[in-house]
Amino acid sequence: MDCTRGFSGVSILVTCGLLLGLAVGCSSFRVTTDFDPQTNFQQLQGYAWLATVRKPSDDPRLHNSLVDGRVRAAVDSELASKGYSKTSASSATFLVTYYLSLQNKIDVQTIYSSYGYGHRGWSQSVATDTYVTEYEEGTLLLDILDSKGGDLLWRGSASARVRESSSPEEREARIRDAVAAILEKFPPQ
């Protein structure tokens, strides 16, 4: 797939296209992480989902049961592959939650070209063409919280262009790819 297709994970991350510009087969996600260096991540074992997902917007492309199910399934699968077990909130050592957002962006590209052969011989002229493209960037943010006090222990995010015309299968794959890219860095080394 070509990388210009955008982030349908928030069409994933929009309906999560995660994410959130979050293209399948392309390394198009911009991933960042942060964590509390005082946390002993080796002690984390079982997890539960935080009861509610905070909504930074009321965008129905981001906040619906289809996207929620895709994000949760992708996170559950990735955490299971890392040896973490999903458990009840009362016995969990950490909690998981996520956030989705869209932001309008502008991409400006200027192309310079030179050419020329005039009536007096070789001459060089320079021409420029500037292209402006508006697009949406989707972001999937995953938080790992302390199960006792709710303190933030680890945060990862993936951002990419959103692709509105994705199929449900592409959206699901986009979310899986975004979650895998984020959780590749969890737990921190």
pLDDT computed for residue 143 by the predictor: 96
pLDDT digits (tens, 9 = 90+) for 19-39: 333 333 344 899 999 999 999
Distance in angstroms (rounded) separating the CA atoms of residues 101 and 58: 10
DSSP 64-90: SHHHHHHHHHHHHHHHHHTT-EE--TT
Hey, what long-range contacts does 59-64 have (CB within 8 A, 24 or more apart)?
59/102, 61/10, 61/11, 61/14, 61/15, 61/102, 62/10, 62/13, 62/14, 62/15, 62/16, 62/100, 62/101, 62/102, 62/138, 63/100, 64/15
pTM over 0.85: no
Which CATH code fits 3-106+137-183? 3.30.160
Q: Can you give the residue ranges of every domain in the chain?
A: 3-106+137-183
Residue-wise pLDDT for 110-165, tens only, equals 888 766 665 666 666 677 888 888 878 889 999 999 999 889 999 999 998 887 76
Q: Tokens representing 53?
A: 């997902």
**Using CA atoms, how far apart are residues 104 and 87, in angstroms rounded to an integer?**
38
pLDDT for res 3: 39
Mean pLDDT of the chain: 80
Distance, CA of 138 to CA of 22 (rounded, Å)? 6
- Say what the pLDDT of residue 124 is: 63
| pLDDT tens digit sequence for 1-21 | 333 344 333 333 333 333 333
